[in-house]
Structure 1
Amino acid sequence: MTVHICSLILEEPQTIPDDGNYHVVRFPFGLAESYDDQGMHQLAQPDGHRIANWRTSDRAGLIWPAAEGWGSLTAIVHWEDGQYTELRDRYERDPLNLSTGADSTATDHRARTPGINPFTKHHELFVHPATPLAFKVAHNSGSPERIIHAQFKLAIHPVKEA
């Protein structure tokens, strides 16, 4: 069986507000992507919506699974040194309530360390083509903070050949 892969990378700072909510990490499209041969992260999304600006649309953080199957999620986030005491991250199914309703998983809360704060995480779950996935982050600094690098990856092992 073919493994379906989408690998996204963000190589510019992205500001994350401190408003008590988790925020979708947004990723660029096209040549700025690491890998998306199965079309799981596109400007024209499967539900008919077209993204005008990836920097301002939370839809730019969605991966729409190309197949039903066992999904292996990986994320990397590097936080710029800041005034936070806690950093948070999680994966979320349908974070924008476009299909089945938001459902978070693999939530982590991490204490601040000196300097930049780089983290990686891995989680596995069943994925479905009509239910997009996102990597979300939060912090508690009292003012906006920046992530300076991020990656979000999905590898799908289909439950049956497409």
Structure 2
Amino acid sequence: MMFCSLQASQDQVIHPKLYTLLRFPFDDESTDVWGMHQPVQPDGRTVQYPRDPESGLIWPAAEGLGHLTACIHWEAGEYTEIRDQFVRDPLGVPDTTATDHRAPSPGQQFFTKHHEIIVRPGVPLGLFVYHNDSKPRKVTYAQLKLSIHPLAVPGGDHGSAADC
């Protein structure tokens, strides 16, 4: 299994009624030994957190069943709806999945989510958030995690520990 765990504890301002890709620093990861979230992108361009939106991408290191998890903390606000979704290729042709629409509770908003999808190298993943307050609001903390379980080929090689 391959794993990438990102966290951002710096406030991110989210403008109303606009899906926004959350960004993650390159030096605060819990785990990225497979190089799925690096400042040097697969196209060779170097990006900076938080300036560049590419700092919100995880680039899967292998094809497989991707287990995505997220944790999102919003500041208190005058929301009537908060949304979040996982997305393939968020800066290209977005393919969204696991969109949650949430009615907020009083005070701050703390959410977690989990979803499974097929992931492939060359197709980055990200986490979009949205709110409908009348003014910008902050995501005060976020996590995005991907674990990849290689797919077994029916009747073929089912892999070994060295393949993980």
TM-score, normalised by the number of residues in structure 2: 0.91
Measure, in 2, the Cα distance between the counterparts of 1:50 and 1:114: 41
Q: Give CA-to-partner distance per residue, 1:32-53, whole Å, 9 cap, x none.
A: 11110000000001122210x3
Residue 113 (structure 2) aligns with: 121
Count of residues in correspondence between the two structures: 154
Counterparts of 1:1-162 in structure 2, within 5 Å, are 3-18=1-16, 20-30=17-27, 32-51=28-47, 53-97=48-92, 101-159=93-151, 161=163
Shift of 1:145: 0.2
SS in 2 for 1:15: strand
Cα displacement (A) at 1:21: 2.3
What stretches of structure 1 of length at least 5 have no aligned partner?
none
Give structure 1 regions of 4+ aligned residues with deviation exceeding 6 angstroms.
none
Using the alignment, how far apart are the partners of 1:95 and 1:21 within structure 2?
A: 14
Identity among equivalent pairs (%) = 51
Q: One-letter code of the match for 1:122?
A: H
CA RMSD of aligned residues (A): 1.1
Secondary structure of the residue aligned to 2:54 is helix
Alpha-carbon distance between aligned partners in 2 of 1:77 and 1:71, rounded to the nearest angstrom: 19
- Between the aligned partners of 1:15 and 1:74, the Cα distance in structure 2 is 21
